Amino acid sequence: MDGLKGFWAEKLSFLENYTRFTKRDTPLPSWSSSDVDEFIASDPVNGPTLKTAREAATFGATGAALGAVSTAAFAWKYSRSPHGTALSFLGGGLFGWTFGQEVANHTMQLYKLDTMAAQVKFMEWWERKSQGRS
């Protein structure tokens, strides 16, 4: 069992990048899109990467919406089963999100960018800004 635990600890070690932001005594305040835009304008290295990652999320959301609606409509048309339609909606949304993210990954060349580092830099910037230490 120790080998399995060590295996997953190694595979999920990237989650430690966020622990100082998620396991705080007081949570960080919410930010708005104007705050994100301010960070994008102020950081010439991580700003464009964060902007690209945010644009890629719209690909995923669009894919999820298209996948969910089209598979649910197909299931409803041919089966008239409410639970089958609901499962098709969920499955199509999941597949659509995944497919949309893959399309974004290739068209925006996200594989060349360190999006996690950009997100961590944004969180550090937001932490400083929200505490008044810009």
pLDDT in the model for residue 67: 97
pLDDT in the model for residue 6: 77
Q: What share of the chain is helix, strand, coil (3-state, %, to 5)?
A: 80, 0, 20
pLDDT in the model for residue 55: 92
Count other C-beta atoms under 10 Å from residue 125's C-beta.
Answer: 21
pLDDT in the model for residue 133: 67
pTM: 0.74
pLDDT means per 10 residues in the chain (134 residues)?
Answer: 73 74 84 93 94 93 97 95 96 96 93 90 92 72
Question: Any idea where the domains of the chain sit in the sequence?
Answer: 47-133
What separation in angstroms does the CA of 70 have from each of 4, 78, 100, 104? Answer: 39, 12, 14, 20
Q: Number of H helices and number of E strands within the chain?
A: 6, 0
pLDDT in the model for residue 70: 97
pLDDT in the model for residue 4: 76
Distance CA 69, CA 114 (A): 32
